[in-house]
Amino acid sequence: MTEKRLGPQTIRLPSAPSILGIGTVSGRKEYLGPIGKYVDVDADQTKLNLSSWEAEERSMLQRAINTVLTKTKMLESNIDYMLMGDLLNQIVTSSYTARENAIPFIGLYGACSTMALSLSVASMLIDGGFATNVIAATGSHFCTAERQYRYPLEMGVQRTASSQWTATGSAALVLSEHRQGLPSITHVTTGRVVDFGITDANNMGAAMAPAAISTLRAHFDETNRAPEYYDLILTGDLGMYGKSIVADELCDEFNEFSSRYTDCGCELFKGDTSVLAGGSGCGCSALYMGKVIKDFELGNVKRVLFVATGALHNPVLINQKESIPGIAHAVAIERE
Amino acid sequence: MTEKRLGPQTIRLPSAPSILGIGTVSGRKEYLGPIGKYVDVDADQTKLNLSSWEAEERSMLQRAINTVLTKTKMLESNIDYMLMGDLLNQIVTSSYTARENAIPFIGLYGACSTMALSLSVASMLIDGGFATNVIAATGSHFCTAERQYRYPLEMGVQRTASSQWTATGSAALVLSEHRQGLPSITHVTTGRVVDFGITDANNMGAAMAPAAISTLRAHFDETNRAPEYYDLILTGDLGMYGKSIVADELCDEFNEFSSRYTDCGCELFKGDTSVLAGGSGCGCSALYMGKVIKDFELGNVKRVLFVATGALHNPVLINQKESIPGIAHAVAIERE
């Protein structure tokens, strides 16, 4: 075991790479919700009249990148790697966006866990001495996700109560070498794939909750930290049913878990019942990071455990009667 | 710039993580070809009568992993990370295979460049001090790729002369801390996404060749190495048309390029005209690594530059008249 490795799933980052800034772009529904005030660009106000939803999704990701470069006063040439992934087949949103940027590109796939996965690998590349500045970015779009994973929107299929609403939005973060006073990544717990046999593609929360539980347990165990160490423990997009599975399971095991814990999918559209069980998609936890970073700035939080969750299925395997495996990756974000 | 960073795309790995071993599984067509004698498992001889081609693809990847664990005398619990990706939507081959293994999983997407991408990130995780042993693995299957990217096989669509044949096979490598006498990864050149406007999804070689040229130039420039430094320079799956674009472009620029250079796609099925322009797919360069590792063992080569290439499109974007971006990632493999 190396000195950076705390256990089978967790490493610590002695140099604690910092989050220099975040750029976010959201759709109208997200902008009008509780996280709207933390969003940099309201995509609805900057409509480009693009020819497809896929093009819109790419445009949002590119604008999130441009926004964070401007906010952090970085040039493309300052960025050593760009780590991105998304929900579309062959992560085309990320790859086609990367084509517009002369930055070495590492494509990732972690479904809705991509924000934590890209932050994990980005912070390891910096701590390992391979990079000074890295972009970690992701996004999703309600309309592209619906037609790819479910039904054409034009069919107007009725949604089940456990279904979730894919967030339309993108976030890009610049990670850099440690700077005093900025939120910094101190630990990474990489998820194992966990499958509890859920076959209902309209109940992603239940499919992903066991993975979140597995990663949270591994993190607390291997870091020797209790939930009360953190001001906030965030899962990515479990929605209300998935969140209640995690809460039920871990509240008995850990004191003070429930008082710290919430789920980005439950927060993103809070009060909007049209989304049913809550928000989802790569963009869900990514957009919510805008609020988290602002809370660090304001001193509202000092230690956050961010556990983004992903369902790793595709429609072909669902048709072949396979169950839905989940994964959850955790990063501990702390500020002195 | 850090001490490990040689230029905008290239890093060196001072600790030179070693390739402990490789496990390969191939389909019958690959097994009967020139690389058959380097393949560990002939999938055709171990048919499991699985219910789908997708299940067969997963089974091949799992068997490649089991084979390399056995060959390197490793247990699952010795492996710190598993880095995998494949061609199927949402890299389900990798994710569903990872579900069978209790190893932290980092999903990657680099299309057919995945073998080099996974080796790149794996060797950085070891050199960075985050891991002792890492599995880098990928694979592909002719039948699953055809039906996903092109047409149902049952249609019997005629293939164009520039089309390539997706290799059926998987390879898994175990990377570990440096060991004297084993092939070791000394440099990584991470690709940028390059798009020359090719829109013909049956001419992947032409779409990927500019990316290979870009990465090769960056590698030679940033490492201050000339092609003659290497005994062998390998691109991943450009096929005969893509290979000739690279050769034409770089032979003028670099002496001794052509005498060292070949393409895994041209070698995999050498002599078999039914594959038309050559082999392709994640499995193509991955299976060919079996021969490369054997050549290191036999002392036939001491320095190899492995540049796997990927086309980053999907059928939806082709239908939307988008062109096909390419990427190429390079790793320098050397043995004292």
Q: How many CA atoms lie within 13 A of B154 on its CB side?
A: 0
> Chain B within 8 Å of A318 (Cβ-Cβ)?
no
Q: Please name every residue paired with A138 in a beta bridge, in sequence order, or none if there are none.
A: A85, A171
Whole-angstrom Cα distance, residue A31 to residue A28? 5
Q: Please name every residue paired with A25 in a beta bridge, in sequence order, or none if there are none.
A: A41, A170
Whole-angstrom Cα distance, residue A226 to residue B273? 63
User: Would you say the pTM of this structure is higher than 0.90?
Assistant: yes
CB-CB under 8 Å, A190 with B106? yes
Can you read off the two tokens belonging to residue A297? 């700035």
Whether residue B309 contacts residue B280, with contact meaning beta carbons closer than 8 Å, is answered with: no
Q: Please name every residue paired with A22 in a beta bridge, in sequence order, or none if there are none.
A: A173
Which among B4, B102, B312 has CB closest to A90?
B312
What letter represents residue B43's amino acid? A
Of A285, A198, A282, nearest in space to A245 by CA = A198
Whether residue B189 contacts residue B7, with contact meaning beta carbons closer than 8 Å, is answered with: no
What DSSP state is assigned to residue B188? E
Mean pLDDT, residues A4-30:
97
What DSSP state is assigned to residue B254? S
What letter represents residue A119's amino acid? L
pLDDT of res. B45: 75
What angle is formed at CA B83 by the lines to CA B77 and CA B89, rounded to 5 degrees?
130
Is A70 in a helix, a strand, or coil?
Answer: helix
C-alpha dist (Å) from residue B270 to A120, A209, B30, B234, B239 = 41, 49, 10, 15, 11
Buried b / exposed e over B75-110, threshold 16 CB at 10 Å, is eeeebbbbbbbbbbbbbbbbbbbbbbbbbbbbbbbb
The interface pTM score, or ipTM, of the predicted complex is: 0.97
Domains of chain A: 17-176 (3.40.47.40), 184-334 (3.40.47.40)
Nearest chain B residue (CA) to A86: B90
Mean pLDDT, residues A129-136:
98
Judged on CB neighbours under 10 Å (0-12, 13-18, 19+), A143 is: middle
**Chain B partners within 8 Å of A190 (Cβ):** 81, 104-106
Percent of chain A with pLDDT over 90: 94
What letter represents residue A182's amino acid? L
Mutate to test the interface with B, among A317, A319, A324 (most CBs of B within 10 A): A317
CB-CB under 8 Å, B327 with A193? no
Mean pLDDT of all residues in chain A? 96
CB-CB under 8 Å, B1 with A92? no
Whether residue A170 contacts residue A176, with contact meaning beta carbons closer than 8 Å, is answered with: no
pLDDT 10s digit of each residue in chain B, 336 long? 568 999 999 999 999 999 999 999 999 999 999 999 999 999 887 666 788 999 999 999 999 999 999 999 999 999 999 999 999 999 999 999 999 999 999 999 999 999 999 999 999 999 999 999 999 999 999 999 999 999 899 999 999 999 999 999 999 999 999 999 999 999 999 999 999 999 999 999 999 999 999 999 999 999 999 999 999 999 999 999 999 999 999 999 998 999 999 999 999 999 999 999 999 999 999 999 999 999 999 999 999 999 999 999 999 999 999 999 999 999 999 998
Whole-angstrom Cα distance, residue A323 to residue A135? 33
What angle is formed at CA A106 by the lines to CA B25 and CA B107, rounded to 5 degrees?
50
Distance in Å from the first CA to the final CA of chain A: 28
Whole-angstrom Cα distance, residue B292 to residue B55? 28
Q: Which of residues 236-295 of B touch A (CB under 8 A)?
A: none
Mutate to test the interface with A, among B12, B130, B199 (most CBs of A within 10 A): B130
Backbone angles phi, psi at A275, to 5 degrees: -85, 0
The 10 Å Cβ neighbour count of residue A119 is 28
| Residue ranges of E strands in A54-167 | 81-86, 105-107, 133-140, 165-166
Q: Phi-psi region for residue A111, left (φ > 0), alpha (ψ -120 to 50) or beta?
A: left
Can you read off the two tokens belonging to residue B273? 């005209």
**In Å, how far is A10's CA from the nearest CA of chain B?**
9
What letter represents residue A158's amino acid? Q
Whole-angstrom Cα distance, residue B297 to residue B279? 25
Q: Please name every residue paired with B330 in a beta bridge, in sequence order, or none if there are none.
A: B189, B307
What DSSP state is assigned to residue B33? S
| Virtual torsion, Cα A142, A148, A152, A153, nearest 10 deg | 0
CB-CB under 8 Å, B1 with A317? no
